[in-house]
Amino acid sequence: MLVKLAVLFSGNGSNLENILEKLHQKSIGANSYEVVLCLCNKKDALGIKRAKKYGLKSVIVEHKNFATREDFDRVLVEEIQKSGADLTILAGFMRILSPVFTKNIKAINLHPSLLPLFKGAKAIKESYESDMQVAGVSVHWVSEELDGGKIIAQKAFEKKKLSFEEFEEKIHSLEHEILPLSVIEIFS
Q: Which residues sit at the interface with ligand GRF, rule CB under 6 A? A: 9, 11-15, 91-92, 110-112, 175
Give the nearer residue to ligand GRF in terms of CB position, either 32 or 117: 117
- Which amino acid is it at 41? N
- To the nearest whole angstrom, how small is the minimum distance from the Cβ of residue 9 to ligand GRF? 6
Instruction: Find the distance separating the first CA and the last CA of the chain, reported in whole Å.
Output: 10
| Position closest to ligand GRF via CB | 92
User: Which residue, 27 or 60, is less far from ligand GRF as judged by CB?
Assistant: 60
Question: What residues form DSSP beta bridges with 155?
Answer: 137
Question: Smallest gap, in angstroms, from Cβ of residue 92 to ligand GRF?
Answer: 3
Measured CA to CA in angstroms, residue 65 lies from 40, 72, 132 at distances of 13, 8, 41
Q: Is 140 a catalytic residue?
A: no
Which among 111, 140, 172, 176 is annotated as catalytic?
Answer: 111
Burial of 155 (0-12, 13-18, 19+ CB in 10 A): middle
Nearer to ligand GRF, 36 or 110 (CB): 110
Surface-to-core class of residue 139, CB atoms within 10 Å of its CB (0-12 exposed, 13-18 middle, 19+ buried): buried
Residue from 118, 108, 96, 119 nearest 180 by CA: 108
Nearer of residues 78 and 166 to ligand GRF, judged by Cβ: 166
Nearest distance in Å: CB 169, ligand GRF: 11
- Spell 62-93 as b/e; 16+ CB within 10 A means b: ebeeeeebeebbbbbbebbeebebbbbbbbbb
Q: How far is the CB of 183 from ligand GRF (least distance, A)?
A: 14
Q: Which residues are catalytic?
A: 111
